[in-house]
Chain A
Amino acid sequence: MRVPYWLMAPSLVLLAVIVFLPMLFAFYISFTGLNENTIGDWVHAPFVGLKHYVDGLSPKGPLAYSFYTSIKASVVFSVATTLLILPLGVGAALLLNSRLRGRGFFRAVVLLPYILPAFVNGILWRLVFMNGSGVADQLLAATHLGSRETFWLIGPRSLWALILADVWASWPFIYLMALAALQTIPGDIYDAATIDGASAIRAFRHMTLPLIAPTMGLAIALSTINHFNNFALPYVMFGPTPPDEVNVLPLNIYVNSFITFNFGLGAAMSVVALVIMLTPAVLYLRAARVGDTD
C-alpha cells in the first residue's frame, strides 16, 4: 500500500518555518558579534567564529564561570525537581485511580498548581520565602525548626526555594501521565495476582511499575527538559541578577541577549543548552527503542 507521505507536507513546512529555520538562524548568530551596535544591520554583523564558545566553554575563558555556573544550576535544578515530583505524581495517581469518595473532585483540585501561570507561581513563592515576613519563616519560627530571619531568596537555600516552588507547580504533570498509564492496565491482572497471593507492594513492583514504565520514561524525559528550560519561575522569583545557585541557563541566556544585547553570546549559550537538553531525549529514545521495527 502506498503511504501518502505528501499529506505531511503542510506540517513539515510549518516545522521548517517555525522550528528549523530559527534554529539555523540562531546557530548562525552564535558565530557573529551581533549586539546593540549591529542589530540595525544584522545581516552584516561581524563574523567572530568560535569566540563566544571559547569565551564560555574554555576553562580559562572570561565567561567560563558564568557559563558553567549556569549549566550546573540548570542540571541540578532539573534533575532534583524531576526526582522529587516522580514519587509525588505516581503516588497521587495510584491513590486517585482507586475507588475513592469524591475522586472526581480531588482529580480536578490536584491540577490547580499546574494551571496557574508561571509568573503568578513565582510571585506567590517569592512572598512565601521573603525573610522575616514570609510564611516559610513564620512557620519555621512557630515550630522552632528555624529562625524567622532565614534567608531563602539569597545564598545556598535559594536553590531549594526554586526547587520547592517548581515541585509544587509541576508535580501534577507526572500525576496526569501516571494516571493515564494506570488506566490502560486491565483490572483482571490484579485479580489474578490477588488469587495467587501477591501482596499490594509485590503487585505494584512486579506488575504496575513495569506496565507504566514506558509512559513514565517519557514523562521523566519531558519533565527534565521542561525544568531545564524553565525561565519564568527563576526570573520572577529572583530577577535578572539571581544568586549563582539559581542562575539557570535560560535566565543567563535571557540576560545576555535581551538586557545586555549580546545576541551572539546568547545564541551560543542557546546552542549549548540545546545539546545538553538532547541528552535526556536521546536516552529516552534509545531506552524506549523508538523507531525500531519488529
Chain B
Amino acid sequence: MSQSTFTRRRFLQVAGAGAAAVTIPEWLAACAQSGSGPSTSGGTPKPGNLTAFIGKDTAHPQAQAQLMAMIKAQFEKENPGSTFSYDTYASASEETTKLETSAAAQDGPDIFEFGSTLVPTAYATKAFEVFTDDMWNHIGGRKIFFQPQLTMSGPSPDKLIAVPVSGNPFAMVYNKTLFSAAGIKQPPKTWSEFVDAAKAMTNGTDQWGVSMAPADGFDPWHKIWLFVTQMGGQLMDSTGKKALLDSKESVEACAFWLDWMAKYKIASRQFATFKGADEVRAFATGKIGMDVMTGPGGTVTWDNSPVAGQYEFTLGPTVPYGMSSLPPGGKPAQGFVSGQYWTIFKYSKNPELALNLIKVVVSPDIQYQYFKLRAQQPVVLETFTKYPDAKAGPWAALYEAELKAYPTPFFGSWGPLEVEIGKAINRMAAQIGITGSYSMDDLKSALTQVNQELQATL
C-alpha cells in the first residue's frame, strides 16, 4: 500500500466525529421532547382536523366504512370548519405497535380505539387523558352506559380513560337441531349438565358436543379465566404483582377444559390445532353442538352456512363441574366485559374536538347503527329503549350476558398472562392431539413453568 497523508485511521476518526456531530444533537432533542396535554373541559373548540386510529372490522368492512361516513358527516355538521379522518389496524399487533410508538414519541392520532383487555396497558403508558366529571357530563354522563362496561374504562371510577363505544358480549351458542335430536330440552346451567349434553350430541366420528381452540394464542385464557372465576380463584392476586397460574383452581380449570378432548371426549382430538377462526368454521358445519364463550362475530359466517337459522345464543353454565352450586367465593360469571373503547391521546392538539366526536359516537342513533350495520352491541342503554330490536331475538341473550359480564383485573400485566396461559395450554393440547391424553404432572409442570416466566416480568 502506498503512503498516504490522510490515513485510513484518520479518516475513520473524522467520519465518526462527523456522524456523531450530525446525529447526537437531534437524538438528544428528541429525548428532551415532552408533552403536556391541554385541558379538556368541553365548550366550543376552535376548528381543527381530528384523526382516529380504530380497529378494522374485517367481518363488515363496507359496513364500517358506511358507519364512519355517518359519524364523520354528523361530526362535521355539528363542528363547522373541523374535519375527521381515521386509519385502521387489522390486528392486535398493529394496535399495540401504534400504542407503543405513539406513547414513546408522544405523537399520534387524537383518538385511539382499544379492545377492553388492552385498556389496562394503555392506562399504564400514562399517554391518555383521564376523564373528568365535566368530560363525562359533556358526552351524557357515566350513567348512560352499561355499567359493567365502565369497569374496564380505568382502574377506579375516578381514573377512567376510556369510553365504551361498542360491546362484544360473550355467551354460549348452541345448535337447536342437534339439541332436539339428542332430546335435550334446555341449555345446560352447570358444567356437569354441559358435559352430559355434549356427550349426548357426540358420535365420536364427525359430530361433537363442543368445539374448542386450544392452539389459539388468546382463546385459552378466556375459558380458564371463566372456570377459575366460577371456582372462586384468581389468575393473579389483587395487587397484580403475584402470578397464580399454578394455583389449585388454575390447574383444575385447565384440566377440565383439556378433559373435553382427553377424558370426556366431547371434542375431537383434531381440535388440538384449532385457532379461533377454526372454531367458528367448525360450528358452521352444523356438526358441533355448542360453542362456549363466543360473541356475535361468528354470525356473519353462521348465517351463510348449514347452521343458518339453527343456532341460538344463551347464557353459559356457571356452576363448576361436579358441583350443584357455586363454591365459596365463586362468581356466576359466564363472560367478561369486552368491547371497543375510545381514548383521547394526551398529546392531542384537538382534545375538545375529540370529546365532541365521542359524543356523536355514543348517541343512541349512531349506537343503533353499530348494531344494524356491524352486528355489534350498543353500549348506551337509551339505544335499547329507542330501538327495541337491538335486544330482540338472538340479541336478548346477548343483552342479558352484557348486563352480567364481569371485568377482568385491570392490570397492565394481564397481556403477558394471556400469552403464558396460551403457551401452557398449547403444549398440553399438542400432547392430547398426538397421544390422545395428557399427564397431570406435565400440566402442573407446564403451569409452574409459565407461572415462573410471568412472575419474572411482574
Contacts and interface: CB of A to CB of B under 8 A. Distances in A.
Interface in A35-54: 35-37, 39-43
A9 B15 contact: yes
A40 B8 contact: no
Interface string B1-21: 110111010010011101110
B430 interface: yes
Interface in B198-222: 215-217
A200 interface: no
A191 to B, nearest CB: 39
A40 B273 contact: no
B35 to A, nearest CB: 9
Given A243-B426, A259-B93, A155 B415 contact: no
B23 interface: yes
Given A9-B18, A62-B453, A63-B456, A151 B433 contact: yes
B386 interface: no
A2 B6 CA distance: 7
Given A2-B5, A36-B412, A62-B456, A241 B419 contact: yes
A115 interface: no
A12 interface: yes
Interface string B422-436: 110011011101100
Contacts of B430: 151, 154-155, 243
The interface residues of chain B, by DSSP majority, are classed as helix
Given A5-B8, A9-B15, A259 B419 contact: yes
Interface in B424-458: 426-427, 429-431, 433-434, 449, 452-453, 455-457
A1 interface: yes
B132 interface: no
B121 A62 contact: no
A142 interface: no
B88 interface: no
A239 interface: yes
Contact of B2 (A1, A21, A242, A265): A1
A258 B92 CA distance: 10
Interface string A130-143: 11100000000000
A219 B449 CA distance: 39
B309 interface: no
A258 B415 contact: no
Contacts of A239: 215-217, 275
Given A155-B430, A259-B93, A62 B18 contact: no
Interface string B97-140: 10010011010000000000000010011110000000000000
B270 A149 contact: yes
Contact of B217 (A8, A35, A61, A241): A241
The interface residues of chain A, by DSSP majority, are classed as loop
B434 A154 contact: yes
A2 B126 CA distance: 56
A16 B17 CA distance: 11
A238 to B, nearest CB: 8
Please classify how large the interface on chain A is, using the bins under 10, 10 to 19, 20 to 34, 35 or more: 35 or more
A16 B16 CA distance: 9
A14 to B, nearest CB: 9
A284 interface: no
B11 A5 contact: yes
A287 interface: no
A61 B449 CA distance: 11
B426 A3 contact: no
Given A151-B430, A154-B426, A261 B273 contact: no
A13 B22 contact: yes
A88 interface: no
Please classify how large the interface on chain B is, using the bins under 10, 10 to 19, 20 to 34, 35 or more: 35 or more
A40 to B, nearest CB: 5
B15 A131 contact: no
A260 interface: yes
A260 B217 contact: no
Contacts of A155: 430-431, 433-434
A95 interface: no
Contact of B127 (A40, A149, A293): A40
B380 interface: no
A130 B273 contact: yes
Contacts of A149: 269-270
B170 to A, nearest CB: 21
Contacts of A13: 15, 18-19, 22-23
A78 interface: no
A28 to B, nearest CB: 12
A258 B217 contact: no
A265 B434 CA distance: 33
Given A43-B31, A261-B415, A36 B429 contact: no
Given A16-B19, A40-B127, A258-B97, A243 B11 contact: no
A153 B273 contact: yes
A223 B457 CA distance: 34
A154 B416 contact: no
A21 B23 contact: yes
B215 A154 contact: yes
B363 interface: no
Contact of A36 (B22, B97, B121, B216): B121
A164 interface: no
Nearest to B106: A40
23 contacts: A5-B6, A5-B8, A6-B11, A9-B15, A9-B18, A13-B19, A13-B23, A17-B19, A36-B125, A36-B415, A37-B124, A41-B126, A42-B104, A43-B31, A62-B452, A151-B272, A151-B273, A154-B430, A154-B433, A239-B215, A259-B415, A260-B419, A261-B412
Given A6-B15, A37-B412, 14 more contacts: A2-B4, A5-B6, A5-B15, A17-B19, A41-B126, A43-B31, A154-B429, A239-B275, A242-B426, A244-B427, A258-B100, A259-B92, A259-B416, A260-B419
3 pairs of A and B residues whose beta carbons are closest in the complex = A5-B11, A154-B430, A260-B416
